[in-house]
Chain A
Amino acid sequence: MKLWVLAAILTICGTTGLMFTSCQSGARKSSSPEATDMITAASKAKDNERVLSLADSLEKAGKISKGESYYWQGHAHYQMGQREQAKSLWQEAIKVTENSTDANDLVYYAKSASYLTSQLCRYAEYAAALYTALPVINRLEKIECDTTCDYTNLLVFAGCCKAYFDKKDSTATDMLERAYRLHTDRIRQNASKKAYRDAMVGIINIAYIWNYVRGYEEGLTWTERMGDLMKEYKTLFADDENYIDKQWARYLIFYATSLEGMGRHDEAERAYGEYLQTRFSNTREGWTDANDYLTVANRWEEAADNYSSILEYLQKDLSVYSLDNIQRYLLKKYRSHQMLDQEELANMTARQICEVLDSAITNNRHLDASELQSIHERDMEIVKAEASSARQRQIYTGLVVAILIIAFTIYTVFRHRANLKLRKAHEELKVAYDQLEETTAQKAAIESDLRIASGIQMGMLPEKFPTRAERDDVQLYASLTPAKEVGGDLFDFYFRDEKLFFCIGDVSGKGVPASLFMAVTRSTFRTISAHESMPDRIVTIMNKTIADMNKNHMFVTLFVGVLDLPTGRLRYCNAGHDAPLLVGAGIGELPCDSNIPVGFMPTWKYSLQEAQIFTGTTIFLFTDGLTEAMDADNAQFQMERINDVASRALANQQQEPHQLIDQMTDAVHQFVGDAEQSDDLTMMAIQYIREQSDVLMRKNIVLANDTKEVPKLQTLVDEVCEAMEFDEKTSMQMRIAIEEAVVNVMDYAYPPGQRGEVTIEATSTDGCLKFTIIDSGKPFDPTVQAAVDTSLPARERRIGGLGIHIVRQMMDSINYERMDNLNVLTLKKNLK
């Protein structure tokens, strides 16, 4: 709001200031007509002094323009015979108006130029005249002010000057013709006195110049035009006697001169005769003009007489000869006398000239000097006036600038204050925003952390569980319900070589670090158990691996179990975890050594435990999320309740893994109610359901650990295959598989050189054929050998590992158990 007010004030101030400055510069755009009339009247009355004073004061009062003022001053000086001043002023006038486009200015531009040129021409300063006239003519033509009277006059003068310099100059003729046309057009448009008179002046000048430069033919043409014009004038304005008389007289003289020049004496004489009858012929001017003819006609006597008359006349009027008079009259008189061979008179005239020349020159000099001084004074005045007006302009500009600065300062101050307030508000906002941002970021970080952690956790868990149709030896199910903040629980299981490897665990801590740790734990479990079948070995190695890379001092409680599916033998190792429940004949806890959680001490040796799982029993594993599940009153679920639920399930014959876990889940949910889950809730249930099938066939053989015994082995295999009614291909497969397995045992079970025994037993049930290879050598598990890469080229192939590879390919399953100091390797072929 304030802004607009300030801007308005500024604009007003600025404009006013500018207006002031422009007023004083004097470049007023239009003159007042009353002023011009006043001066014109004074001029007509030949009151030159008054003209001068009027011009000056009216200009200062701003009633007339500078151009007009200078023009009138020049005119007045000219009338007073002060040629130099006139010249200088008219030049000034031209200067101040030459670049203007104002109509009024242009009038005085043309007028001043016209008068100046005419004066210059009159005093034979033809070069200066041309120099003055031509630019003006060009400018007037350019801005299309080329039909004015003054322009026409300029054309006439310029043309005459050109003709003077070169009477064959075609541009001169063009200009003069153009001027003539302009005059006649004007007359045609408006046959006024003024139009005629202007035309006359022009034509007279032209005619005169042609005669003067002895272009008598052209002179004649122009003179005749002059004559025609006068005739017209006579008809129209018959009562303007004096003017008619004068102009007619002049026409006659020019006519006579031209005729004489062209050699037409008689006609010329006749014209002169007519001339003598005019009143004008008897005036000083008339005598002067007559002499133009007389000198051309070589009528020197008459010319001389005329000059004497003139001089007599002049002596009466003038007290002093000027250079002008001397040239005009005395010199001409002298020439006339000369032409007439009037020696005495010529000498007299010469003496006269000498006498008066000195004072005339001095006078002229004085005149010049005084004129120059006046001019100089006037110039000084002009300069002073300019200076003062310039100063005034400066003052006003200064004022305007000062106002602008003040206004700007005020504006800036207000703006600044507003800015400060704004900035302060902005700062406060920024602080608030930063706080908000931080909080939001923290929240977002937490949330994204949680999402990441959750993603990691859930991605790590097995999703599919084998169905009844897929496996007839074990059933299992597990569930993990994560808490809002990921708790790091894990479980895993997989089958390898007729064993179920499984684990359950709980990582300390929460969030992303916990879930990462959990991921590491799981992958370590898988990697190590691929080569280790003993849980204690598995856990020991896992512990070392994890403890070594555990900078954050995290740890994980873990339970690892390996269930041998053919026999139901469970081997396990507990690392600080809750002991699982066995739900079978009754409810009981699996006896567990507590050991220590994994990740603490890299050197801890974990203990191995074993148990026999009977068909139908379910192993129930869980984390402390179950035991410590809290309700709204912070009471915990606890072991008792778990036992209760399990008992109930058992009683209802619902100890199948999925059923059991569902029941447990329901019970927990009921208990916890609306309270928020504080920790991950993880449960896993494994039920051993293997039924012992009836054995249909049993054969065995005992061999020494010498590969030479292999043929005996072959005999057994052949017998078995025959009994099983295998086809050739299958028999071959059996043969090589058994051979490779047995040879393997023979080679590695006993120390080299030591003799030992290898028992091979073949049994068949309804579903499968089984070969069991038993030896009493050192513990050796062929199933953990590294896999063979069959795609390697010859150079890179290793000799070892082929045997087991072949066995795996040929048989449906291979299972190793260490039982009572015996290595028991079982190879199975499914029959259905």
Chain B
Amino acid sequence: MKTTIQEQDGNVVAILEGSLDTAAAAETEKAMDPLNDVEGKDIIIDCTDLEYISSAGLRIFLGILQNVEEKGVHVYIKGVNAAVNDIFIITGFSNIFEFI
């Protein structure tokens, strides 16, 4: 599982590649921690190459969102595949994140 954080067009982009299962969760969480400090910009989580996500991964996303929401920062999810989208829908996370 690979996590890369970049700045793109004035936004902070987190590129996730691989399977975000429970085993990989701890490591990914650490890697995505800087996103909690974003201010004045929007966050885009790029899931184009994300094959799989478990509830542990969802928890990471939720954590980030709850932290930056009050700062007015938007969190966008980009490029989810069918399986991942399913998970989002089932858990209702599709209602709390914005997708692009």
Contact = CB atoms under 8 A, between A and B. Distances in A.
Given A736-B54, A802-B91, A707 B23 contact: yes
Interface in B47-100: 52, 54-56, 58-59, 62-63, 65-66, 69, 82-83, 86-87, 90-92, 95-96
B52 A732 contact: yes
B91 A743 contact: no
A802 B23 contact: no
B11 interface: no
A766 to B, nearest CB: 28
B56 A743 contact: yes
Contact of A806 (B23, B87, B95): B87
A806 B56 CA distance: 12
A794 B55 contact: no
B69 A795 contact: yes
A739 B22 contact: yes
Interface string A787-805: 0111111110101001101
A708 interface: yes
A714 interface: yes
Contacts of B17: none
Contacts of A739: 21-22, 54
Contacts of A810: 90
Interface string A706-740: 01111100100000000000001100110110011
B90 A806 contact: yes
Interface in A722-773: 728-729, 732-733, 735-736, 739-740, 743
B66 to A, nearest CB: 6
Contact of B66 (A709, A714, A794, A806): A794
B49 to A, nearest CB: 16
A278 B17 CA distance: 171
A735 B22 contact: no
Contacts of B91: 788, 790, 802, 805-806
Contacts of B62: 794, 797, 799
A205 B25 CA distance: 150
Nearest to B66: A794
Nearest to A793: B96
B: interface residue count bin: 20 to 34
Nearest to B59: A799
A65 to B, nearest CB: 116
Contact of B52 (A707, A729, A736, A803): A736
Q: Which among B54, B55, B83, B91 has the greatest number of chain A C-beta atoms within 10 A?
A: B55
A714 B91 CA distance: 21
A637 B63 CA distance: 67
A134 to B, nearest CB: 111
Contacts of B52: 732, 735-736
A634 interface: no
A1 B33 CA distance: 111
A707 B22 contact: yes
Interface string A777-790: 00000000000111
A703 to B, nearest CB: 11
Given A735-B52, A803-B55, A794 B83 contact: no
Nearest to A736: B54
A662 B56 CA distance: 54
A332 B57 CA distance: 158
Contacts of B54: 736, 739-740, 743
A743 B22 contact: yes
A809 interface: yes
B21 A714 contact: yes
A785 to B, nearest CB: 13
A793 B65 CA distance: 11
Contacts of A733: 86
B84 to A, nearest CB: 9
Interface string A531-551: 000000000000000000000
A781 to B, nearest CB: 19
Given A729-B83, A806-B87, A708 B23 contact: yes
Nearest to B26: A707
B66 A795 contact: yes
Given A729-B83, A791-B95, A794-B96, A711 B55 contact: no
A672 B21 CA distance: 68
A743 B82 CA distance: 23
Q: Which among A729, A735, A797 has the greatest number of chain B C-beta atoms within 10 A?
A: A797
Contacts of A795: 66, 69
B96 A802 contact: no
Nearest to B94: A790
Nearest to B92: A790
B58 A732 contact: no
A799 to B, nearest CB: 5
Contacts of B55: 740, 743, 802-803, 806
A711 B21 contact: yes
Contacts of B82: 729
Contact of B23 (A711, A728, A797): A711
Contact of B22 (A710, A729, A791, A809): A710
A732 B66 CA distance: 28
A698 B15 CA distance: 39
A740 B83 CA distance: 15
Contacts of B25: 707
B96 A797 contact: yes
A708 B25 CA distance: 10
Interface string B17-48: 00101110100000000000000000000000
A745 to B, nearest CB: 12
Interface in A800-823: 802-803, 805-806, 809-810
Nearest to B56: A743
B92 A710 contact: no
A399 B91 CA distance: 108
Contacts of B69: 794-795
A809 B52 CA distance: 17
Nearest to B65: A794
Given A710-B23, A802-B59, A803-B55, A791 B83 contact: no
A793 B58 CA distance: 14
A74 B92 CA distance: 128
A740 B54 CA distance: 7
Nearest to A791: B92
A732 B83 CA distance: 7
A791 B55 CA distance: 17
A802 B58 CA distance: 9
Contact of B90 (A792, A793, A809): A809
Nearest to A805: B91
A803 to B, nearest CB: 5
Contacts of B19: 714
A623 B72 CA distance: 64
A707 B54 CA distance: 12
A792 B91 CA distance: 11
Nearest to A789: B92
A739 B25 CA distance: 13
A790 B90 CA distance: 8
A809 B62 CA distance: 20
A707 B59 CA distance: 15
A832 B56 CA distance: 31
A795 B95 CA distance: 12
25 contacts: A707-B22, A707-B23, A707-B56, A710-B21, A710-B22, A711-B21, A711-B23, A714-B19, A714-B21, A732-B83, A732-B86, A736-B52, A739-B22, A743-B55, A790-B90, A790-B92, A793-B95, A794-B62, A794-B65, A794-B66, A795-B66, A799-B63, A802-B55, A802-B91, A806-B91
Interface of A: 707-711, 714, 728-729, 732-733, 735-736, 739-740, 743, 788-795, 797, 799, 802-803, 805-806, 809-810
Please provide the 9 A-B residue pairs with the shortest distance between their CB atoms, ordered closest to farther. Answer: A790-B92, A732-B83, A802-B55, A710-B23, A794-B96, A707-B22, A809-B90, A743-B22, A803-B55
Given A711-B23, A743-B22, 14 more contacts: A707-B23, A711-B21, A729-B86, A735-B52, A736-B87, A739-B54, A790-B91, A790-B95, A793-B95, A793-B96, A794-B62, A794-B65, A794-B69, A799-B63
